[in-house]
Amino acid sequence: MQLLQRFLARDRSEGAVLYAAIVARGRDPHWYRKGGVPDTLDGRFDMIASVLAMVLLRLEGDPAGVSLSTALAERFIDDMDGQLREIGIGDLVVGKHIGKMMGMLGGRLGAYRAAFAEGALGPALGRNLYRSAEPQPEALAHVEAALTRFREELNGFSAKQLAAGKLPE
């Protein structure tokens, strides 16, 4: 019972500012214009999930980031739930779609983590961001460079700064 009370009493605003900044970053027109990411529902989901994955990778292993990572995942679920309902997905299948989306986010985390360890983000982007559609080489290079730079710059931000919605320019 205490666990349930702690969950219900939890500050539900945690991560709100950062999640809004992540969504804004994922909607930045350069991803779609220069990066060739499809400007569709799927393309926007993929780009937001990619930016979110970079932030979650930054928070991994940071004890100060555990609560924030959880809050971001909850925000993502809430946002996707609302988006699905807005486009007309019914109550009976929303949960199934959310589960699939969370699986896609988890897959990106694993793929991007491995790609950074290997020093080659491009192939992971091809599979996860472009969904195996062949992007133009200059578009892929743009997104790869921008996400790599973003990921590296995130290392200079504390969990407290991130929680305040601060992201690299």
Digit-coded pLDDT (tens) for 38-63: 999 899 999 999 999 999 999 998 99
Q: What is the count of structural domains for the chain?
A: 1
In a domain, 6, yes or no: no
pTM for this predicted structure:
0.87
In a domain, 168, yes or no: no
Confidence of residue 98 (pLDDT cuts 50, 70, 90): confident
CB 129 within 8 A of CB 50: yes
In a domain, 9, yes or no: no
Domain of residue 132: give its range: 15-163
Query: For residue 48, how many other CB atoms are within 10 A of its CB?
Result: 22
In a domain, 3, yes or no: no
pLDDT of residue 11 exceeding 70: no
